[in-house]
Amino acid sequence: MSELKDMPVQKAVVVEVLGPVVFVCLLKDDTIMTEKTYACSIIKGKRFKAGKPVCGDVVTVQIHSEVVQGRDYQGVIEGIDERTSLVERLEPGGRRARSLVANLNTLVVVTSVCMPPLKPGLIDRYLVCAHHWGLEPLIVINKWELAEELDALYVQLYEALGYKCLKVSAKQGLGTDELKAILSRRRSAFLGHSGVGKSSIMNVLFPGVNLATGELSIQSHRGCHTTTASRLLAFEDGGFVIDTPGVREFGIVGIPSNELSACFPEFTPFAAQCRFQPCSHTHEPGCAVRAALDADELAQFRYQAYLKMLSEIKDLEDTKYL
């Protein structure tokens, strides 16, 4: 057993947070050294400006022990580096932001067809977040072997809006090589409903890891929230993917109401022509976005998604919790 005393502080990446335990892998020359994971603590009472560490955070750690000894920690988190990005959601039923994952450059919206069915409303929420935070969005539609005509239609609509969509079947191995090629040098996370197959796809991308996957509820065809904590897995060439717990709802937080319209890229050319600037595209006379809707130049389902998110954000702003 080797006890390492007076180890220098080192850089590491947070790969999982389980209650008070922060699991990290060391960073060497920007490569995540995945062969070893260290269980680290945060000194009691210590508060970081960035809040609590989340998956994807680059941290400074002091490792004390190379081996796990009972319940002892192997190291201490000394600090959190400034984040290049942070994905947050509204606490379920609450009014505060909850940090999810940090330092991404790509947000993978994972959805499925049939069970659970494809839900454009949730896809739109994640796309809005990706735009606002400057992350490249990628839509993955899993269980494609069960796809029907309507699913193909939605894919066409999103593709027409300029979004990259990838049809995948974790079960049959469809599209997973292409997905791996796209993600291998990126810093990404899988976000989406419970039961769409996020962990199943991870298991194909990272053979041998064997993340838990769950059966769907027979009645509702919903997932059973199998994944309970985010988990970062790294590719050999520096990229990583974070598997996150599935959600039932995804409440937008941190996007001011007057910036929401800009997160719908197809609105932008019309919004520039609205009589009032800024225009909320809800009631203002001379609104070019609503005129484009009436002329079927914009998709109704996207506008409805915009209205729903706008009203939620305004509710939060009215109660001054944002």
142 binds, among ligand GTP, Zn ion, Mg ion, none (CB under 5 to 8 A by kind): ligand GTP
- For Mg ion, the closer of residues 64 and 198 by Cβ is 198
Does 296 help bind ligand GTP (rule: CB under 6 A)? Answer: no
Q: Please report, as ranges, the residues that interact with Zn ion according to CB under 5 A.
A: 274, 279, 281, 287, 289
Does 146 help bind ligand GTP (rule: CB under 6 A)? Answer: yes
Does 143 help bind ligand GTP (rule: CB under 6 A)? Answer: yes
For 184, counting Cβ atoms within 10 Å of its Cβ (0-12 exposed, 13-18 middle, 19+ buried), the class is middle
Give the Cα-Cα-Cα angle 311, 83, 75 (nearest 5 degrees). Answer: 125
With CB under 5 A as the contact rule, the residue among 176, 199, 230, 280 that binds Mg ion is 199
Residue with tokens 């800024």: 278
Does 227 help bind ligand GTP (rule: CB under 6 A)? Answer: yes
274 binds, among ligand GTP, Zn ion, Mg ion, none (CB under 5 to 8 A by kind): Zn ion
Q: How far is the CB of 234 from Mg ion (least distance, A)?
A: 18
Task: Show contacts with Mg ion in window 208-247 (CB under 5 A).
Answer: 226-227
SS3 of 125, please? Answer: helix
Does 111 help bind ligand GTP (rule: CB under 6 A)? Answer: no
Strand 106-112 with 136-142, pairing? parallel
**Total of residues contacting ligand GTP (CB under 6 A):** 24
> From start to end of 45-164, where are the E strands?
58-63, 75-80, 86-90, 97-102, 106-112, 136-142
Measured in degrees and rounded to the nearest 5, phi and psi for residue 187 equal -110, 105
How far, in Å, are 48, 124, 139, 175, 248 from residue 119 at the CA level?
A: 37, 9, 12, 20, 11
- For Mg ion, the closer of residues 4 and 18 by Cβ is 18
